[in-house]
Structure 1
């Protein structure tokens, strides 16, 4: 490391590399260091659009958002769904309807539908969807992650909607396509601020229970749905 040949390339894979350690400090001092971190959750729709573009096609912003909400943030799974879209639809750009059709044909019930049911406080529908998601083998940790994002948007939507901003400005601040804005705003109105923070706490509790084996995924998600939908509005 102290005197490597100029042609040397070192690739290090790590979940959370500690840049303070001597190895990383020396590499940064003596070479060009490039970090290929996965995109953050709020960067996924833009990543989808960029990735599709590098493959020679275009995808509409609302289609990228729906793909993210339905599939999650796993880049390998997203790439697989993008490949299916390329095969299934010739349209360019790829539309929201194209994404919905491919997802309906290949994945059954989606977490997006569960988020929508919980956002509308439809407990019975949410419980049915949870049962079907568990039957499909949907990863519960991924489900929780998407629900955390969804209710984070609802909290921001409730706060921003009181500022009397133009619709495009609200959508921009929420980082959601304008096509979905009314749905988020309608859901946000069904909760007061306390209820939304209670939902946030319920999601964190559910995540902790999953990690500590505090029940089956179905039991944990069903209890989560009850806490969210029955919280005081």
Structure 2
């Protein structure tokens, strides 16, 4: 394939991915079809299949586009020469920001880890979930060494932070209909980041527990 053709192919693939991510963001759900993407881009469904192989291939590409950079940043933050509380605060801010930018991320992860395809589910979990779980384990261990955190189950800590973040960013109707907010403003986002950080510190605070 010539250089110009490669560039054209890459541009077409990027256009299809952009359409897919836009549709998911608008619907706040990964429940889109190849026909939806074809209609949005004015291209044929067959062309979508040509670039991604299948709907599953397209969904995996969207998942990688949405969260791979955030996952890669975990390794850098884990080994950074920073106090553990600073790492935790930076991570929570990044987690909330990622879920606001990619509101369908957790739903897409769960969809790709359904038991109908164990091989795919295991691969997705290893690439996108394990690094986050291991990051929490490293944070807890560093905090214990520094004497500022108690040791807690990293699995439970994972579900607490990810679940709280996903629910906050996915609750558009609750935000508008119940709380009268137009959406997640920058001020509200910062308040929630601070609240979640303080909550995490409370869970990790050393001392006796009943």
Fold-level match, TM-score > 0.5? no
**Larger relative helix fraction:** 2
Q: Which has the higher Rg, Structure 1 or Structure 2?
A: 1
The normalised TM-score by structure 2 is 0.35
Higher relative contact order (CA 8 A, sep 6+): 2
TM-score scaled to structure 1, two decimals? 0.32
